């Protein structure tokens, strides 16, 4: 009898395969809905969904059930409710009894809660005639690929979007850094779109951009790690006072001030350029997935996202990640000089710096001398390593990098041990040398440890990019700084403490691949 059931299920699967999604997940809409096909009736007869002959039904006292169908329906509801929602359509194809049980809404309520964290009182749905199965199939499952962290493709500016399940909505929140130069202030956020299920037919997508409330929008899932949004009513974004009013409103929200407050002509230019560039998109954007960096016990501090000061460009979002002997700061938001996706700073964890005492630290030339000595040492070591690699290749004996690390991230056991020892040194007094400009004078006056590093600088439009020497200063678990030697300026970074959902990388390889992708797009 099992063979007949398997054949009929296989036929169903073949039929369903034609219109299933590219990732071959089964569509939960199939479970618990629609009529009964001939195949299912056949399967039910074979499987014993109809009453069994008395001889089989009675059996010896206390006999264990021979089939799932002999279990009480409420027990089957419990069992089915504990399975992943994507497995339930296959179950619905087994027989009409299973299909009937899968119409029980408590099964789907549990799936909504356990898989997507929907803790709403779903009973209020009943008023609108929408079932929990509809919420699961037409909203949560259908749009599951867009949950998580994303970077919009807005030229050099980038951005940070977190798409989350919020009650019976899916909402895309754009996160904005606080106003310059207050790096320790919390992030600001505004909704760009939302999706909800107000009628049984299908989910409704709404654009939330502008100041006139929700209006008609569209979302297209291009591929697994990319999607795009489109506004169908961009007139909702316009203001009665025209572009001038739109600019003034944007300036107040984005920068927290008026143009009259900004005396610096170059800064006025940069701000106006950003407004003209970013507002042309009208919320019709393409987003690419980003992951939070994976952490390991050897890391200097917890990796993650930080807000940093970038001179006239205001605050920007940077992702700090660790790669063996190197740490990298990658821009999630950017500017016309160094676009989003580029690696703004690289920290050489194998080369800690011993800062001069507090009196001599005020002398810029003394700090400069120390850093340039280390830069020369690093250059010699790199040359030596290249020669060794060259001779190894000549001898046809390829070096064996550590698992999961390329040559760039290799580290010796001694080096790794050194890194771990660097984690908790005694704090030392810290002050910026005279002549170094800091937008935020409120930086900590003690630090734990400093490392040699390089910072990327470039002309407008990312012309003549160049890695220049600098000092990475670790203040505490949530703050670090970078002294750009050539620019004589200091950037202060403070951790973003938002618990972003669905943002973990599935593996270290997936994270590295993502970093490579956003950097190549920026180039």
pLDDT one-digit tens code per residue, 337-392: 999 999 999 999 999 999 888 888 899 999 999 999 999 999 999 999 888 888 88
Could you write out the DSSP letters of every residue in 196-220?
A: E--SSS--EEEE--SSS--EEEEEE
How many other β-carbons are positioned within 10 Å of the β-carbon of residue 427?
A: 15
Would you tell me the crossing angle of helices 73-81 and 105-116 to the nearest 10 degrees? Answer: 20
Q: Mean pLDDT throughout 107-125?
A: 81
Q: Which residues contact 6 (CB under 8 A, 6 or more apart)?
A: none
Q: CATH for 297-376+426-522?
A: 2.40.128
d(CA 318, CA 336): 16
| Domain extents in the chain | 69-120, 148-285, 297-376+426-522
Architecture of domain 69-120: Up-down Bundle (1.20)
Residues 113 and 5: beta-carbon distance below 8 Å:
no
Phi, psi at 260, each rounded to 5°: -65, -30
Q: Mean pLDDT throughout 484-511?
A: 95
pLDDT at 513: 95
How many other β-carbons are positioned within 10 Å of the β-carbon of residue 153?
A: 18
d(CA 336, CA 465): 12
Percentage, residues of the chain above pLDDT 90: 53
d(CA 118, CA 141): 13
Stated pTM of the model: 0.82
């Amino acid at each position: 009898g099992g063979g007949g059931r398997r054949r009929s299920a296989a036929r169903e699967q073949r039929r369903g395969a034609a219109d299933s999604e590219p990732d071959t997940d089964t569509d939960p809409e199939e479970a618990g809905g629609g009529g009964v096909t001939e195949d299912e009736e056949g399967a039910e007869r074979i499987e014993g969904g109809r009453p069994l002959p008395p001889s089989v039904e009675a059996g010896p006292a206390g006999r264990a059930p021979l089939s799932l169908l002999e279990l009480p329906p409420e027990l089957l509801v419990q069992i089915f409710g504990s399975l992943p929602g994507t497995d339930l359509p296959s179950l619905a194809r087994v027989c009409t009894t299973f299909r009937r049980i899968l119409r029980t809404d408590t099964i789907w309520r549990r799936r909504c809660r356990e898989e997507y964290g929907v803790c709403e009182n779903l009973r209020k749905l009943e008023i609108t005639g929408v079932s929990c199965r509809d919420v699961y199939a037409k909203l949560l499952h259908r749009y599951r690929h867009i949950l998580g962290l994303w970077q919009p493709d807005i030229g050099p500016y980038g951005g940070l979007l977190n798409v989350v399940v919020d009650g019976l909505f899916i909402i895309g929140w754009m996160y904005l850094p606080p106003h310059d130069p207050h790096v320790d202030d919390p992030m600001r956020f505004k909704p760009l779109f939302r999706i909800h299920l107000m009628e049984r037919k299908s989910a409704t997508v709404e654009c939330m951009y502008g100041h006139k409330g929700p209006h008609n929008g569209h979302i297209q899932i291009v591929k697994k790690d990319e999607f795009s949004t489109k506004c169908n009513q961009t007139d909702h974004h316009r203001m009665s006072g025209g572009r001038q009013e739109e600019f003034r409103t944007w300036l107040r929200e984005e920068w927290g001030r008026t143009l009259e407050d900004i005396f610096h002509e170059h800064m006025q230019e940069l701000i106006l350029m950003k407004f003209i560039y970013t507002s042309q998109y009208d919320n019709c954007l393409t987003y690419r997935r980003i992951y939070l960096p994976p952490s390991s016990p050897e890391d200097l501090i917890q990796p993650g996202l930080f807000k940093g000061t970038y001179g006239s460009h205001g605050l920007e979002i940077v992702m700090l990640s660790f790669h063996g002997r190197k740490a990298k700061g990658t821009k999630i938001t950017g500017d016309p000089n160094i676009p989003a996706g580029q690696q703004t700073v690289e920290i050489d964890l194998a080369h800690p710096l011993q800062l001069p005492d507090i009196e001599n630290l005020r002398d810029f030339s003394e700090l400069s001398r120390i850093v340039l000595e280390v830069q020369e040492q690093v250059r010699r070591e790199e040359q030596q390593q290249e020669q060794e690699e060259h001779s190894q290749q000549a001898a046809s004996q390829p070096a064996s990098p550590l698992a999961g690390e390329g040559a760039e991230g290799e580290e010796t056991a001694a080096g790794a041990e050194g890194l771990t020892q660097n984690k908790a040194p005694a704090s030392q007094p810290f002050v910026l040398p005279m002549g170094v400009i800091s937008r935020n004078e409120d930086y900590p006056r003690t630090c734990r440890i400093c490392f040699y590093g390089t910072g990327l600088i470039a002309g407008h439009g990312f012309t003549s990019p160049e890695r220049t020497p600098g000092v990475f200063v670790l203040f505490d678990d949530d703050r670090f700084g970078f002294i750009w030697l050539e620019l004589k300026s200091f950037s202060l970074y403070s951790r973003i403490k938002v618990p972003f959902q669905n943002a973990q990388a599935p593996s270290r390889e997936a994270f590295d691949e993502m970093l490579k992708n956003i950097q190549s797009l920026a180039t």
